[in-house]
Structure 1
Amino acid sequence: MRYFTSLFLYLGLCAILAAEPSHPIGVRSLDIPDIEAVVWYPSARDEPATLVADNPVFVGVRVVKGAPVLAGTHPVALLSHGYSGLWRNQAWLAARLAQAGYLAVSLNHPGTTFGDMDPSWATRLAERPRQLSRVLDALLADDDLASRTDPARIAVIGHSLGGWTALALAGGVFDPARLQDACGNSTDKMVCTVFRNGGMTKQTAVPDGRDDRISAAVLLDMEGIHGFTPGSLRELSIPTLALAAGIGDPALPLGWESRAQAKLLPAATSRYAEVIGATHFSFMSECKPGAEEILKEDAFICQGETAPRAKLHEEIASTVIRFLNAGNRLASALQSP
């Protein structure tokens, strides 16, 4: 791959060259059996506004519930949260996508969502990408939303385990034995512990999770690259963006995980960058003052960044939207791993 050396220089250029109109944000639920899903979309109505995804820990987003969808057709972005996460974790990104004209759909993944955790989830790894496909099915079957979607522009965006899900949906083939061999007896790498505790073995069968309707993929500090077969990664034909946290974490080794993505993803269709000042949790919602006291032993979710999370969100969203808007033409390369 060819890269710029500064992500911030690139992002500044993005802001100048790729400024998007900022639409009011409408929100409505999507009717899917056993799956909670929310659609964020551009609207012309900005009142009455209300806060969603807001709680004592995380900053919410101001939206208009049930507002009409802006006229015309819009690209789609499916958002997949991480292990034990919630659809609310990436509300900030869904909102920015909607402001830029996207229909963004976020969901709670049954079995790997906070409050709905299946101890043996990793024995049924195909369920996560299939859940996203079911959400897309529901969107395209919705009488009101289907006519507003552009079926040629459907992206998937995933954080952490959601990145694994996005890559599986994009066509990556996952072989549990490869990840087990790469992990060995490691007890310090989070991805190894999470998959092992979820019941995955070398013999775990993983049916194909690919969805041919997906036209682009974005991986946000993804975990699990060593389990994907090199052949399937070389054959990825859709644009794929991998954004990594620039601040290392012993449980999420930057060189072992994210920089391996830069080497394994095909140069012709992928781009990679490390977000300077970001931690693994910078891709979640902004923390409120006092959040660390509430979180207690989980306060690390709000700690460790060397730049304000709100600023990091603006930079991440700008990069993602520019990349998706470029389509097969791809935005300029980012930086060296």
Structure 2
Amino acid sequence: MSRLFRLLMLAATALLSPFAQAGLGVTALAPQSPDDEELLVFYPSSSPEQALARGTLRIPAAPEGRFAAGNGRLVVLSHGSGGSPWVHADTIRALVDAGFTVAGVRHRGDRSGNVADRGPVSWARRPKEVSRAIDRLAAHPQWAARLQLDRVGVYGMSAGGHTALSLAGGVWSPARFRDHCRAHLREDFQACVGLAATLTGSVFDGLRLWLARRVLEARFSDTRPQAHHDPRIAAVVAGVPAAADFDPESLRQPRAALGLITVGQDLWLKGQFHAEAVLRACTPRCERLAHVPEGGHGLLLAPLPPGLDGLEGQMLNDPPGQDRRVLAQVHEQLRGFFERHLR
């Protein structure tokens, strides 16, 4: 009954919002240079929605819909490795319902359909792409007139959480990632190798560990610190972030207000090495916005793409006992954080 009461209260709060009756408008800004990807912009709209087919998903939205009143504030969304903004459509809608405009970056070389630069090349490029998205909106007459870009928010999940932590002031290096995996390869195997392999408890695990060490030593030798600062970014939320390669000292006093969303059943990025390690470093200068003890790594994919199988399905599908209705509470905390720090 208490959970039902909380959900009813959240629904009532959403209905009382001055923007809650708006639909989800969406437009795409074409690339302006060879280094750009298409930029998706989601906003409050008064136009009727239609079901948009995006891969295996059908997303209600109003393409090129008429503008409705918003709050004039921007949140930039950084998706996970190999992902897209569309798998965060429910989160985007929650922010748009609160009046925000959301810019969904499609990260070059690490998005659906193209993962050629997955890993440190993309990790270094992603924060710059977020800044580039803000620049593109600032240079666009229509969006420059609608948005106040002196205080911008960033939300990222998984590899997008790594992007978010970078923009909060985090400093990382490929060599720090290598050193983490040297020390914790077996315990944090999926974070170190991604979907390339998994440990099965068989006699072949020794070979898998040996090959992983060889690849890590060859690919993650760069010791140069990586950092990116954008003074326009005032609030950052990292959901289940990849974080083992950050220097904890760089996050003790974040450059922007920093919130984290954590889960208790993450098989891909074990909390003790990633999200919880960040919280140990940045508390009390940061805050845990939400924790879902029964949640898996894919909880914040909303909607979760259907039909995930194999190792990808093991890492992303909801674990037994996970109740996706909890996302209403997660989204309420997310909206409240950005409202406090951006408006």
TM-score by structure 1 length? Answer: 0.81
Contact 2:173 2:225 (8 Å CA) reproduced: yes
Contact 1:7 1:273 (8 Å CA) reproduced: no
SS, match of residue 117 in structure 1? coil
Q: Deviations over 1:140-172 (max 9, x none)?
A: 111111111122331100000100011112221
Which residue number corresponds to residue 212 of structure 1? 231
Residue 235 (str. 1) matches residue 253 (str. 2) = yes
CA-CA distance at 1:268 after TM superposition: 2.9
The separation in 2 between residues aligned to 1:111 and 1:8, in whole angstroms, is 43
Which residue number corresponds to residue 51 of structure 2? 51
- Matched residue type, 2:174: P
Which residue number corresponds to residue 329 of structure 2? 315
SS, match of residue 218 in structure 1? strand
- How many residues end up aligned between the 2 structures? 314
The separation in 2 between residues aligned to 1:304 and 1:90, in whole angstroms, is 19
SS, match of residue 238 in structure 2? strand
Q: Deviations over 1:277-334 (max 9, x none)?
A: 321111113347xx33x7466433333152333x1332221110011112189xxxxx
Q: 1:100 to 1:72 in 2, by over 3 A?
A: closer
CA-CA distance at 1:119 after TM superposition: 4.9
**Which of the residues 233, 252, 277 maps onto 2:269?**
252
Greater relative contact order (Cα 8 A, min sep 6): structure 1 or 2? Answer: 1
Q: 1:318 to 1:282 in 2, by over 3 A?
A: same
- Matched residue type, 2:42: W
Contact 1:53 1:91 (8 Å CA) reproduced: no
Q: 1:12 to 1:268 in 2, by over 3 A?
A: farther
Q: 1:234 to 1:28 in 2, by over 3 A?
A: same
Q: 1:277 to 1:247 in 2, by over 3 A?
A: same
**Which of the residues 282, 289, 295 maps onto 2:299?**
282
Which residue number corresponds to residue 117 of structure 1? 115
The separation in 2 between residues aligned to 1:303 and 1:120, in whole angstroms, is 24
Which residue number corresponds to residue 28 of structure 2? 29
The separation in 2 between residues aligned to 1:216 and 1:287, in whole angstroms, is 26
- Unaligned stretches of 5+ residues in structure 2: 195-211
Which residue number corresponds to residue 271 of structure 1? 288
Q: Which deviates the most, 60-69 or 270-279?
A: 270-279
CA-CA distance at 1:215 after TM superposition: 0.7
CA-CA distance at 1:24 after TM superposition: 1.6
CA-CA distance at 1:17 after TM superposition: 6.5
The separation in 1 between residues aligned to 2:142 and 2:294, in whole angstroms, is 41
- Matched residue type, 2:262: A
Q: 1:7 to 1:221 in 2, by over 3 A?
A: farther
The share of aligned pairs that are identical, in percent, is 25
Which residue number corresponds to residue 40 of structure 2? 38
Q: 1:197 to 1:90 in 2, by over 3 A?
A: farther
Contact 1:80 1:107 (8 Å CA) reproduced: yes
The separation in 2 between residues aligned to 1:128 and 1:75, in whole angstroms, is 21
The separation in 2 between residues aligned to 1:209 and 1:183, in whole angstroms, is 24
The separation in 2 between residues aligned to 1:132 and 1:217, in whole angstroms, is 12
Contact 2:251 2:278 (8 Å CA) reproduced: no
CA-CA distance at 1:61 after TM superposition: 2.7
Give the number of the structure whose alpha-carbon radius of gyration is greater: 2
- Matched residue type, 1:175: S
Residue 303 (str. 1) matches residue 318 (str. 2) = yes
TM-score by structure 2 length? Answer: 0.80
